Structure 1
Amino acid sequence: MGLPRFARPKEGDGESSPNLYVANCGPAVGLSYDTIASAFSSFGEIKGVYAADESGARVIVSFLESGSADSAFKALNGRPCPHLGGRSLHIRHSVLQPQSSIVHHTVPVALMASDLNIPGLYLFHDFITAEEEKELLLAVDNRPWKSLSKRRVQHYGYEFCYDTKNVDTKQHLGALPSFVSSILKRVSSSPDINDHANLVLDQLTVNEYQPGVGLSPHIDTHSAFEGSIFSLSLAGPCIMEFRRYTSGSWVRNITSNTDGQIENPDSCTELSRKAIYLPPRSMLLISGEARYAWQHYIPHHKIDNVKGTMIRRSSRRVSFTFRKVRTGPCQCEFPQYCDSQSDR
């Protein structure tokens, strides 16, 4: 079961709440939950200290009695707390949301793809060096970016059309840029990649993510790209989650997210969720079942919990995603997730 969820109380309800929303307080500013609980315990018995959001700088302090919360509020709001290094706290009363409105998402995060047991998913750590990473970032920063609603992108080879959720094979942008030649050569010559190395990759999308910005759940459109997908992570880490849903009306009710990729409708029944940590300079290979039947997405977090360690996302994360443009209909073994086979 996940942690409780709290919200600001309605007008007139706040003073009776035993829960306090405390800003400028949490792991992101160097304060552990135990330290926070100890500082507030002088006002009454503490039920728990919880993260208020993904920032790591705001917490919920939950008292057993409302009077204790009132005393702490009056003593500490807007004032330096001597038990927390003199840090000034910004406090509001908070209320527990009804249990029925809470959706708990607790997915253990793996460090190795083999731990997920998803066929066709592989992760190669330190696929490039730190120096190569710097050179790649410099190369794309010297090229023009296209701004989407929440991130910036660059397309090479073919442009992904977010309106049509596909690529226009008649609009070839040219060969992939020379600054990725060494990456393509490494992919084709790596003994660990085996059969996937024979795929001639001709499309590259570069994405830049700011802290807290993720990617909506989707499966890359079957009819747009064939075979394996390679995604190189640069500059910052993130967690990528994979979901597989049962079939049924999945394809018939197909929808798309703001990035134009396939999403699941609300009518889908979730079957499995798994997550993996992607460090900088790692290469993720998504093939077979992982590519055609599992959604992948990046949670919209500023701080990720990896094996009990809170890891703050860096000022930017840049991904290089290499794909092969499909020239005919998809004939994959997963028709329930395939737009090419949806009418059969």
Structure 2
Amino acid sequence: MAPESRDGAAPCGCKGIRSCLICEKLKGKGQLQKSKSEVVHHFFYNPETGLAVSKDAEGPSFRFPGVFLQENFITEEEEKELITAMDQDVWNESQSGRRKQDFGPKVNFKKRKVRPGGFSGLPPLSQKLVLRMHQEQTLAGFQPVEQCNLDYNPQRGSAIDPHLDDSWLWGERLVTINMLSNTTLTMSLEQGLPEAGLSEEVRVAVHLPRRSLVVLQGEARHRWRHAIHREDVHQRRVCSTYRELSAEFLPGGKQAEMGAQLLDIALAFKGTPI
């Protein structure tokens, strides 16, 4: 449960083991669980070669498939327009010091149930961005059915833990537009990478320039966990992540009818945050 402030109201959206600078201050530093010291192999992603290159100049490198990065996907003027529109809507408190805005169906992942709920579509300004995405071969046929805006602030200690996105409802490609500041997306394999001779945890840093677009698919989507660490948020950062439907909800799938209904709502581009 999230800690309570003196007036009884939760000061943040953190639950369980997750925390931000606000609730950590209330708990006291002594109550925080420190991460154990361990061996980690560090690499950085080179988008020109598609290789993960060791931060040690003499270290190994390996092919890192499933990441597509396009710089300057939006202009400064578009970024300003998008942020202004978002800030006119309500931001809801979320885990680990983040704030969020959801445009998507009502989902219970544990019970594997989905329904439209209050979903009214993706926001109007996203329509031109989705059309622009279609110009990239990597995003041919991309039809997003959900958009999540996340607001990161270093003063709150915002972050997101290493995780894999659901693959029951969400499809192959995860698409994110990074706004307001540069950051680093950290990809990780706790079990190591045997094919590269690495038995301990492997981390690959993917630099995300301001106003860039990044796509995760294949191994980067299903094998490698992704995270934004607190130390990589230096200024306010806002991102919009778009998700498409899995095969189960597309024509020929078990829930194709529900998928068609959700897409009709999403691609009307008349949405407001839920």
- Specify if TM > 0.5: yes
Shift of 1:110: 3.6
Candidates 180, 185, 192, aligned match of 1:240 = 185
Query: Contact between 1:121 and 1:287, CA under 8 Å: does it hold in 2?
Result: yes
Which ranges of structure 2 fall in alignment gaps of 5 or more residues? 1-35, 53-62, 193-198, 251-274
Identify if the C-alpha distance between structure 1 residues 171 and 325 changes in structure 2 by more than 3 Å, giving closer, same or farther.
farther
Candidates 100, 103, 113, aligned match of 2:38 = 103
- In the superposition, the TM-score normalised over structure 2's length comes to 0.63
Candidates 78, 87, 101, aligned match of 1:154 = 101
Query: Contact between 1:158 and 1:167, CA under 8 Å: does it hold in 2?
Result: no
Shift of 1:244: 2.6
Query: Contact between 1:167 and 1:224, CA under 8 Å: does it hold in 2?
Result: no
Query: Contact between 2:66 and 2:219, CA under 8 Å: does it hold in 1?
Result: yes
Query: Contact between 2:40 and 2:201, CA under 8 Å: does it hold in 1?
Result: no
- Determine which structure has greater relative contact order: mean sequence separation of CA pairs < 8 Å that are 6+ residues apart, divided by chain length: 2
Candidates 86, 95, 105, aligned match of 1:140 = 86
Rounded to whole Å, the distance in 1 between the matches of 2:100 and 2:71 is: 24
Query: Contact between 1:110 and 1:276, CA under 8 Å: does it hold in 2?
Result: yes
Which ranges of structure 1 fall in alignment gaps of 5 or more residues? 1-100, 248-268, 305-311, 331-344
- Residue 313 (str. 1) matches residue 254 (str. 2): no
Q: Which residue of the partner structure matches residue 160 of structure 2? A: 215
Q: Which residue of the partner structure matches residue 199 of structure 1? A: 142
Identify if the C-alpha distance between structure 1 residues 158 and 195 changes in structure 2 by more than 3 Å, giving closer, same or farther.
same
- Residue 296 (str. 1) matches residue 243 (str. 2): no
Instruction: List structure 1 segments (4+ residues) > 6 angstroms apart after TM superposition.
Output: none
Rounded to whole Å, the distance in 1 between the matches of 2:220 and 2:210 is: 21
Question: Secondary structure in 2 aligned to 1:328?
Answer: helix
Shift of 1:106: 6.2
Rounded to whole Å, the distance in 2 between the matches of 1:203 and 1:118 is: 27
Q: CA RMSD in A?
A: 2.8
Question: Secondary structure in 1 aligned to 2:77?
Answer: helix
Question: Secondary structure in 1 aligned to 2:244?
Answer: strand
Identify if the C-alpha distance between structure 1 residues 228 and 165 changes in structure 2 by more than 3 Å, giving closer, same or farther.
farther
Percent of aligned pairs with the same amino acid: 26
Aligned residues: 195
What is the correspondence of 1:71-150 to structure 2 with a 5 Å cutoff? 102-103=37-38, 105=40, 107-110=42-45, 112=47, 114-116=50-52, 117-149=63-95, 150=97
Query: Contact between 2:41 and 2:202, CA under 8 Å: does it hold in 1?
Result: no
- In the superposition, the TM-score normalised over structure 1's length comes to 0.51
Rounded to whole Å, the distance in 2 between the matches of 1:283 and 1:325 is: 19
